[in-house]
Amino acid sequence: MKQIKGKHDLAINGAEPAFSQPAYVGRPNLGDREKFHNYVDQIFDSNWLTNNGPLVQEFEQRIAKHHNVKHCIAMCNGTISLEIAIRALSLKGEVIIPSYTFIATAHALSWQGITPVFADIDPISHTLDPESVRKLITPKTSAIIGVHLWGRAAHIGQLQEIADENGLSLMFDAAHAFSCSYKGTKIGGFGECEILSFHATKVLNSFEGGAVLTNNDELAASIKLMRNFGFENADNVIHPGTNGKMTEISAAMGLVNLDSIDDVIEINKRNYDHYLAGLASLADIRILPYDENQSNNYQYIVMEIEEGSMLIRDELINTLNAENIWARRYFWPGCHKMAPYKTLYPEAESDLPQTQKVAENVIVLPTGESMTKERIGIVIDIIKVLYHNN
């Protein structure tokens, strides 16, 4: 591994890239290969591949227990989980969501003819600003979807108050928040339901996968029906539905990864601490903090560059990319500026000042198993070289 001492050592100046093995944000955690192979044998022996198989049921029970909720309904991915939950809650008209989120939160609504209305975020937490939500409520509003971005809980208490005062549904996109908590309570039971993602890049992966968590028996029953075409039993369709089922092979991966989740989170925390300490001396940047009084998965190392800093975000990303360090500017430029929504909200830009600012200043740094202390040290050195040379 190349050491970085000055600007001339950077790949953008013709030197060799620092990393021969690329460093990624969202490199999948693979768990114990032998355990996975044993599950594959089990699947082959039973010849049961999908349709609410035994591994899916075991996965659901373990996730529900981990999050201390009554029901976990596993799905083929997080987006379908959102779509089915939105449909099961009979949302319609307008639904308020943050613009600063993964595009799936908005798509899951517009896919069903519901208008996503973009609220601004709190610049400290990067989650929905309750005051911005209040201003956007109209007679057409049916719900609010909060997003626990980066695994840090949304302002759940305030959002619930707003929903109650205005007779709105409240649900949460908890795609990033596996194993995280709010005021000491695990995510999963807040609002009417919460949605997890087990995509390959998430802290807990099942290749692709997702789930709806809820304590509401009736809601859970209709979500289960909708996940399986509305079939009540082998012949009888009693509900409109789709195919949202998780496969046995996905559940197997999920179960294997669940066994090692504590180790994964420990590594993430170690990496977060290295970045935090290594970059502490740079005045114009902040690593987004995790509340140590809560349970966190530390899956995202989010660095924010202050306005007027000596560092320029996109220049930093290009420099890191040249070194084979694949840092990302996630959720840029905000859903409101993406093609399907841009023309709907021509004024959104001036209405979402904090979203604009955060989207322009965030850079997500590589973490996970492959990021040793030494490799993180190199990333930090490159950031420092650029900082001092700009």
At closest approach, how far in Å is the CB of 100 from ligand T4K?
A: 10
- Residue 296 as a binder of ligand T4K (CB under 6 A): the answer is no
According to CB under 6 A, which residues from 15 to 34 bind ligand T4K?
24-28
- The answer to whether the CB of 226 falls within 8 A of the CB of 87 is yes
* Nearer CB in complex with ligand T4K: 260/324: 324
Give the Å distances, CA to CA, from 251 to 51, 297, 326, 335: 12, 20, 29, 31
User: What tokens appear for 285 in the block?
Assistant: 């940047």
Give the Å distances, CA to CA, from 331 to 202, 215, 363: 15, 30, 10
At closest approach, how far in Å is the CB of 75 from ligand T4K?
A: 9
At closest approach, how far in Å is the CB of 332 from ligand T4K?
A: 11
- Residue 178 as a binder of ligand T4K (CB under 6 A): the answer is no
- Residue 329 as a binder of ligand T4K (CB under 6 A): the answer is no
At closest approach, how far in Å is the CB of 187 from ligand T4K?
A: 13
**Long-range contacts, stretch 135-139, CB < 8 angstroms, 24+ apart:** 136/96, 137/96, 137/162, 137/166, 137/168, 138/94
- Using CB under 6 A as the binding criterion, the count of chain residues that bind ligand T4K stands at 22
Residue the block writes with tokens 């896919």? 111
Residues forming a β-bridge with 98: 119
Give me the 221-260 binding string for ligand T4K, x by CB under 6 A, dash otherwise.
----------------------------------------
DSSP for 210-246, written as a single string: EEEEES-HHHHHHHHHHHBTTBSSSS-B-S---B-PP
Closest residue to bound ligand T4K by CB: 78
At closest approach, how far in Å is the CB of 104 from ligand T4K?
A: 4
- Residue 104 as a binder of ligand T4K (CB under 6 A): the answer is yes
Of 199, 245, 337, 375, the one binding ligand T4K by CB under 6 A: 199
Spatial separation of the C-alpha atoms in residues 121 and 101, rounded to whole Å: 10
Of 50, 160, 201, 321, the one binding ligand T4K by CB under 6 A: 201
Residue the block writes with tokens 């996905």? 250
Spatial separation of the C-alpha atoms in residues 144 and 330, rounded to whole Å: 22
Binding residues vs ligand T4K (CB under 6 A): 24-28, 77-79, 101-102, 104-105, 147, 173, 175-176, 197, 199-201, 210, 326
